[in-house]
Amino acid sequence: MGLNLPNGKLGVWLFLGTEIMFFTAFIGTYIVYRVNHPYDWPTDPEVTHIRIWAGGLNTFVLILSSYFVVVAHEAMHQHDFSKAMKFLQWTFALACLFLGIKAYEYYGKFSHDILPGHIAETNEQAIDKTLGELKDARSAWLTALVPDEGRDDAKMTALRDQGGDEATAFFALDARITNLSDKVKAELVTMEEVTTELEEMQANEQYGTHIASVHAPHPIPKGNLFASNYFIMTGFHAIHVIVGMIAFAFVIMQGSKLNADWSVYVENCGLYWHFVDLVWIFLFPLLYII
């Protein structure tokens, strides 16, 4: 005697059982790290670039999409296939909106280099990072000025021969960066002094615009651990959203041919989608509030 449920549904529930453990591994690890670092975990939104309105809005979007899936499933059960199709399309649209908001949040992290392994955690690391960005900006400008030469020193020789106002401005910036680099090497400069120096350089009319994107030194203790946890949890969740969208796309592509044969499929997709919602329900307070 078997269970009183379709094989497909049993399969989905068994799969969801493994998914619970999959996400709990990440969420559990995050909780353990938070317990381990109760005082110095980065929580300031200005530092982490985590926006509660974005997380709250995404929570609402997923809850609404979950509701639409239930309505679609009910409509399938009542053989109202046009209504089911309409709500499945809305669900798909909301999934797109969720990923759009998520992409906006990721953009904030990428633009401020809040990425695993990229974050300076001490003053020394922060100074080195700013200096590295300055040197990269200098190289980018040099390549724009002398695109055809090979190495930087060959480009600089060519630029010196070439002369002109831009060359003068470039060498003025180069001299300041070299001077700052020497001070950093000799450990003669503090983080505050580097910040002041950078602000002065960025305000310079000759070359300031070329280094406008360089970030002032800003160490974030435990920042890399935070970023790793954030991206692995939200990243895998986003992948699950995309998988759900692909599953819904198969039904939506049926168009007017949607019929009762798809009822179990819609129910199974719905179960998966509710699970995706369920994971976000816990990620929202853990990442955006606590």
Interface residue list for another protein (CB under 8 A): 3-5, 13-14, 17-18, 20-21, 24-25, 28-29, 31-33, 35-40, 52, 56, 59-60, 63-64, 66-67, 69-71, 74, 77, 221, 270-271, 274-275, 277-278, 281-282, 284-285, 288-290
The region, left, alpha or beta by phi > 0 then psi within -120 to 50, assigned to residue 255 is: left
CB of 278 to another protein, least distance (A): 5
Side chain identity at 277, as an amino acid letter? D
> Which residue, 155 or 270, is less far from another protein as judged by CB?
270
* DSSP label of 37: -
Coil/strand/helix, residue 219: coil
Give me 47's structure tokens.
């530092």
Min separation Cβ 276 and another protein, Å: 10
Positive or negative CA dihedral for 211, 212, 213, 216?
positive
Identify which of residues 16 and 252 has a Cβ nearer to another protein in the complex. Answer: 16
Closest CB to another protein among residues 62, 173: 62
Least distance from another protein to the Cβ atom of residue 279, Å: 9
**Cβ of residue 213: shortest distance to another protein, in angstroms?**
32
Q: Could you tell me the CA-to-CA distances from 74 to 4, 77, 120, 154, 188 in Å, in that order?
A: 20, 5, 52, 71, 71
CA atoms of 270 and 250, how far apart (whole Å):
13
48/66 with CB nearer another protein: 66
